[in-house]
Amino acid sequence: MKKLANNPFILALKARNLTVEIHHHSAYQIVLSNDTPFNSTINGTLFERIHGFLIKPQVPHFCVAENGTLNVLNIEPYSTVGLELAGRFQDNEDCIVFYSPSETNSFFQTPKDSLAIGHIIDAVLAKLPPVDYDERVTKIVEYINANYAEQQIAPQTFADIVYLSPSRLAALFKQQTGSSLSKYLLWTRLRQAIYLTLTEKDRSLTEIAYDTGFYDLPQLNKYMYEMFGMPPKALKFNSDLIEIH
C-alpha cells in the first residue's frame, strides 16, 4: 500500500495588488491576506478590513486588495479536503470571515502570526485522516500525471491499466479520494494549464489548452470559469501579479 505525496485537489495561488470582479465558482475557496487588510463583498454583504475568509461553492463574491498580497486556495468540493471544509460551516452559513491574523491562526491551527501558503495547506491536510492508498489508485494517479495531455483518455483506459472494471475502479477511487477519476483528470489538466499560463507568457492560450488535454480554448474557458470563476485570459492578463504554488 502506498501513500499519495500531496493532494491534487488544492490549487494555491498568491496574488499581489489585485482587485477581482464579482464571480462565483464550484470550488471551495480560502482567501487570506499576507499583510494588509482588504475588503470583500460576499453574497451582497460588504466586509471591510478583513484578513480572510473561507467560502462555500457558488456564493457570489469579489475582493478589493489593491495594497497587499493574498493567498488563494481553491479546493475541489467533493474531495476529502472539500468534504472536511464543508463540515466547518454552521447551518445556512455561506462564509466564515476572519478579522485578524490570530483568528485565522486559531481556525486553521497554523503557527502564530504565520499565514504562509505552505502552512495553510499543511494545516488543512492535517485535518484529514491518514489513508493508505491502494496501489491501483496510486498507479492510476501516476498514469494521469504522465499522460493528462492525451485527449482520448476514457474510463476503460484506466480500467485496463489495473485490471478492474470501470465501475469497480471508479468506486475504489472515490472511496479513497472523495472525488471521481474524471475530476482528478480535470484538476490535473487545469493546474497545468494555469501553470503554463502564468509561467510561459509568450504561448497562446489556444496552444496551452491543446497541450494540456483540452479539445480547444472554449473548453478550457468553460471549465476554468466553472471551477474558479475566471477564464484563463484573466490570469494571463495579470500574470505579473499572480504566482502558482
Tell me the CA end-to-end span of the chain in Å, nearest whole number.
28
Tell me what the mean pLDDT of segment 77-103 comes to. 94
**Which pLDDT score is estimated for 79?**
93
Take residue 12 and report the three cell numbers written for it: 494555491
Distances (CA, A) of 13 to 37, 129, 243: 18, 25, 6
Residue 10 three-state SS: strand
Residue 19 contacts residue 65 (beta carbons within 8 Å)? yes
Ordered by where they begin, the domains of the chain are: 10-126 (2.60.120.10), 135-232 (1.10.10.60)
Taking the whole predicted model, whether its pTM rises above 0.85 is answered as yes
pLDDT tens profile 150-177: 988 999 999 999 999 999 999 999 999 9
Instruction: State how far the Cα of 35 lies from the Cα of 57, in Å rounded to an integer.
Output: 26
DSSP-derived secondary structure letter, 8: T
**Which pLDDT score is estimated for 6?**
60
Instruction: State how far the Cα of 146 lies from the Cα of 154, in Å rounded to an integer.
Output: 15
Tell me what the mean pLDDT of segment 97-115 comes to. 88
Residue 149 contacts residue 213 (beta carbons within 8 Å)? yes
